[in-house]
Every structure is written in C-alpha cells, then in structure tokens.
Amino acid sequence: MGSSNPPSLSKINDDTLILVLSCMPVRSVLAIRQTCKRMLALSRTRIIWHNAYVREVLPNGFPFPCRALLTMPTAELERAVCRSMRIGKFWRSSASPRRLVDFQASHGSAVNDVRFLPGYEGNRVVTVAKGIWSVIAVWELPPCAECACVRKLAEWAPRGAIFAGFAVNSDPSSDGLVATSVNAEGRQRIEILSLVRENDIESLRPIKTINSTWKPIALKGDFIAYSDDCLKTIVMNWRTGATALLRGSDELIDQHFNYNRCLQIVFTYKSVLVVRARSIELFAEPVLSSPRAPQRTLNPLARHSFGWIDGVSINVQVRARAAGEPAPPAEPLAILLRSESDDPWTSDVRTLDLYVLEPNPLFGGAPAPPEGAASGESPYAFPPVRSPLSSPSERGFLRCTAIILGPYGTAVWIQPRPARFIDLTALDVHSSETQAPEAARAKETLAAAMFCGLLWERNPGTGGGPRGLWTQSLGSSYWNAIDYCEELGRIALASSQGMVTILELG
C-alpha cells in the first residue's frame, strides 16, 4: 500500500496562497514569509495588507496615517499597517517606550522648540535653540537605534537674530517648510524658510518675508496665520500676499488683565478656530483680499471662554466608519486643556479636561459674512461640550506647558516636579546641580493617556488616567519642548541643556 505525501504549501498555486495569506493575522503573515523566497514575495501582495488594515487596524481604532489608501504604495502600506499594530499594542499594554536616540542639538544653550517634519515618516526633526542668537536646525534621525548617529542637514542662524514664534508647515508638499518671527538689527519680521538641495548639500533659505511684529502660529500649505497678544489675527496666502483680518471680541475676561496670547490656530471645516489664553473664537473661512485692495475684516461667529488656559491642544476627532467610507465634510473637534488659576493658594491637584465641538447639523455651507459682520451660521455648535473624561495633573513649575492630542484620542504632556520641592535656587538656570537640595531635584515625567476615539472605546479601562512613560534623567535639567506624532508613534523631547531625546512607542 503506497504512502501519500503530506500536503505542502509549495504545491498550492500563487492565487490560492495569496487568498490564504490575505485571511491570516499579520503576525502569521510575517512568520510564514520567513520560510522561503516564494512566500516572501507573495506576502508583499497589496491585497494582503489592504485586508489586514480592514480587519485588524480600522475596527480597533489604531493610529494610522490620514493619507488615502489608494494612493499609498504597497511597501508603505505594509509598513504603516505593521507600525499601527505595534502602536495599538503599546496603548493597550503597560509597556514603556523605546529610546530611539539622544543627540546634542545645542551646546551651551537650551533647545526651545522641537518638531517632527511631515512627510519623512518621523525621520526628520527641526529644532530652535536660543543662545547669544537663535539657531534653527534640521536633523535626520537614524531609522533604528542600531544605525548611525543623527546627522545635521542644515541650519539657519542670522547673526544677532532672536526668534520668537515658530510654525512648521503641516503640508509636506509645500516648499515653505517653517515660519519664524525674527528680531534683528532693530527690525522685526516673519521669515518663511525652505529646505533647498544643491550639489547634494541642503540648506535653509528664506523664500518669503512678511513685515510684521506679530508671531506665526499656524502654517498650512500656502496659508499662514499670525497673531498679536491681544485679539487680532491675520490669515495670509504667503505666495500672493492676499490677507484677511480676524478681529476677536473686545470683551475682557478680566478688567485688570488684557494680555491674551494666541496658543493655537486651527484651519478647520469652512472656518478658522483661534485659541487664546483666555478665549476661543470661531471665524468663518475668510475670503482673502489682494494686497492692492482694502483688507477684509471678520468678527467671530461664536465665542467661549474656559477662563485662563495654561495648555491646550485641539484636533479633529476620528470616528469609526466602514472601510472605503469617505470621511464626513466636518468631524468633531476634540479640545484637551489644562486650566490655570490666578490664586497661588489653590490646590496642587489640577486636571486635564476634554471638551468636544460637534459639527452644526443646521450649517448649510454659507459663504463668509459681509465685511465686519459677526452674524451667520456657525459650522460648529457652540459652546463646547465637556466630556466626563479627565486626567489629574500636578501643579508645579513647567517650562513646557504643551499638551498634544492626536486625532485618534491619545495625548502626551509633561507632569511637573511637585511644587513643594521647588525653591528659588532650584529655578536658577545658571546654578549648578549641587546648589539645590536633593528634594528639589525631583524629576519631571512624560505622561500619557487615552481620552477619546475608537481605541479608547475598545479599551475603556485604560482611558483618562495618566500613565508615566519616561522620566527626565538629567537632574538639573528641564524639558523645554515636546512634539508627538500619533500616527508614527514617536515623541521628541528637548531639554534646557540642549539635549533632544526621540522615543518610539511599540
């Protein structure tokens, strides 16, 4: 009696194998591709990774690039799915992030800002350091911790110049990379810089100068928004010079305190949201006036005050939808904020509170109101609705008050050293570490939590409460700046001693 051969994958035709692989979980696909070159080649078929996205990423609300799947190359889709799975696993566990790299971005001065550059998969960052004069530098990160060190690609440091505001272009296809307010030779202006490559050498060069003493807050493609510290914002097409003035309400929150600096500007559906320290105002999407025409002025469609805001982050809230279903024209805006008190004797315990601005179902997409008018339908329903989710946050000294909320509902921020441990000696930036008592050298902590979104809904027990991710390792140093790219699972931390740390989630 003859013995039959056991079934073998090598005897199955390619079409059937692709069908089988497209039904397997990602971990099984990655394992089976190690068996032979044929499996390796077949496992790179697009339908396998499209199905993996639909089956394992989309229904779980894992962070994923907002780019349309149809335009994403297959190799990029595979990387994005695998990375999304790792990030989702990280947020559903108690794991710690991995330190990708540390590098000295500045010697002898603090790094005051650090941002990931869109379009480079988290492998390029830009830093702003302020010493005798200011320096903007672009850095290329290694793709993995085992690779070569960080490389400086370009820097821009006009002699004697001091930079104030700073904005990174959210559109990776634009040649206007960053914008900053420059004070040099007794003149203040806004410069938009481009990263130019010539003869294999990259450099930062100004491509547009805007004569203004105001600070750039947002840069999106050809549009820049810059603001004063009270109530006015200008939206400009920096290529054409066309502008519009968004004039906030003259109503004072506090008759003794007129300072109302701009914290964030969001270009959103048919509107512009201007967030200041003591107010949040929604303006209709402006029609810009050419440089030769009178400047158009808009008043707010809606306004709300949370009191004095110490830190805030606003982002579109991604909600669950079926694969291939187009995004609605307007999605809710999630607002995560930490309020401040004018009373120094208030409790040391504060909270990060979540609010939601829902789209206005009655909004019909009406054009901007006439010159100076405040009437008209608002694309969003005011006031923002407070969510029951909140997270405790200690009161204490912070140089970095930033909060960063991603569209999938995860957020990171810096928890301060306890206020009771801080004395005047410890706050002296010129003092040595040995001058401060041991208690004053309690460390800052990078905290994180899930506040909303499908990822939180699938894991409700892990939301709201803060989770310590990383601790400041330099005893006399403070974190000056933070950036977080949710879809890439990367965090950048910049310290008062010029060091930048890049962390990877999952």
Can you give the pLDDT at residue 350? 75
Q: Band of the pLDDT at 440, cuts 50, 70, 90?
A: very low
The Cα–Cα gap between 181 and 201 comes to: 26
Q: How many CB atoms lie within 10 A of CB 103?
A: 18
Across 117-268, the runs of DSSP E, i.e. the strands, are: 124-130, 134-140, 151-156, 162-168, 178-184, 187-198, 201-210, 215-220, 223-227, 232-237, 243-247, 262-268
Pair 54, 186 in one domain: no
Task: Using the 3D structure, point to which of 91, 109, 134 is the last residue of a domain.
Answer: 91
Pair 283, 171 in one domain: yes
Pair 74, 106 in one domain: no
Using the predicted structure, report yes or no on whether residue 330 has a pLDDT greater than 90: no
CA angle centred on 287, ends 286 and 288, rounded to 5°: 105
Note whether 278 and 308 are within 8 A (CB): yes
Pair 52, 125 in one domain: no
Q: Measured between alpha carbons, how far apart are the two ends of the chain, in Å?
A: 54
Pair 235, 346 in one domain: yes
Task: Using the 3D structure, point to which of 31, 58, 91 is the last residue of a domain.
Answer: 91
Pair 84, 108 in one domain: no
- Compute the Cα dihedral for 452, 453, 456, 457 and give only its sign: positive
| Of the listed ranges 276-280, 319-323, 468-472, the one predicted with least confidence | 319-323
- Is residue 11 situated within a structural domain? no
Name the percent of the chain lying above pLDDT 70: 84
- Is residue 5 situated within a structural domain? no
Cis before 361 (ω within 30): no
Structurally, how many domains does the chain consist of? Answer: 2
The Cα–Cα gap between 455 and 450 comes to: 8
> Token digits for 301?
């469609």
The Cα–Cα gap between 258 and 232 comes to: 13
User: What stretches of 150-204 show up as alpha helix (H) in DSSP?
Assistant: none
The Cα–Cα gap between 411 and 418 comes to: 21
CA angle centred on 284, ends 280 and 285, rounded to 5°: 115
- Is residue 106 situated within a structural domain? yes
Can you give the pLDDT at residue 389? 82
Q: Band of the pLDDT at 131, cuts 50, 70, 90?
A: confident
Note whether 81 and 74 are within 8 A (CB): no
The Cα–Cα gap between 217 and 206 comes to: 18
Instruction: DSSP for 243-304, please give it.
Output: EEEEEPP---SBTTB----EEEEEEETTEEEEEETTEEEEEEPPPPBPTTSPPEEE--SEEE
Q: Band of the pLDDT at 429, cuts 50, 70, 90?
A: very low
The Cα–Cα gap between 163 and 161 comes to: 7
Pair 69, 213 in one domain: no
191: closest CA among 161, 220, 150? 161
Pair 51, 173 in one domain: no
For 465, residues 6+ apart whose C-beta sits below 8 A from its C-beta are 391, 392, 449
- Is residue 357 situated within a structural domain? yes
Maximum average pLDDT range among 333-337, 348-352, 399-403: 333-337
Task: Using the 3D structure, point to which of 70, 91, 112 is the last residue of a domain.
Answer: 91
Using the predicted structure, report yes or no on whether residue 144 has a pLDDT greater than 80: no
> Token digits for 174?
């634009």
Pair 77, 152 in one domain: no
Q: Band of the pLDDT at 235, cuts 50, 70, 90?
A: very high
- Is residue 246 situated within a structural domain? yes
Note whether 122 and 488 are within 8 A (CB): yes
Q: Band of the pLDDT at 461, cuts 50, 70, 90?
A: low
- Is residue 6 situated within a structural domain? no
| Of the listed ranges 148-157, 213-222, 388-397, 451-460, the one predicted with least confidence | 388-397
Mean pLDDT, residues 216-221: 98
Kindly report the pTM of this predicted structure.
Answer: 0.89
CATH no. for residue 374?
2.130.10.10
| Of the listed ranges 291-305, 384-398, 402-416, 445-459, the one predicted with least confidence | 384-398
Residues in the chain: 506
Q: Band of the pLDDT at 225, cuts 50, 70, 90?
A: very high
Pair 71, 158 in one domain: no
Maximum average pLDDT range among 51-55, 255-259, 323-327, 443-447: 51-55
What's the pLDDT tens digit per position in 44-66?
999 999 999 999 999 999 999 98
Q: Which domain holds residue 349?
A: 98-250+257-504
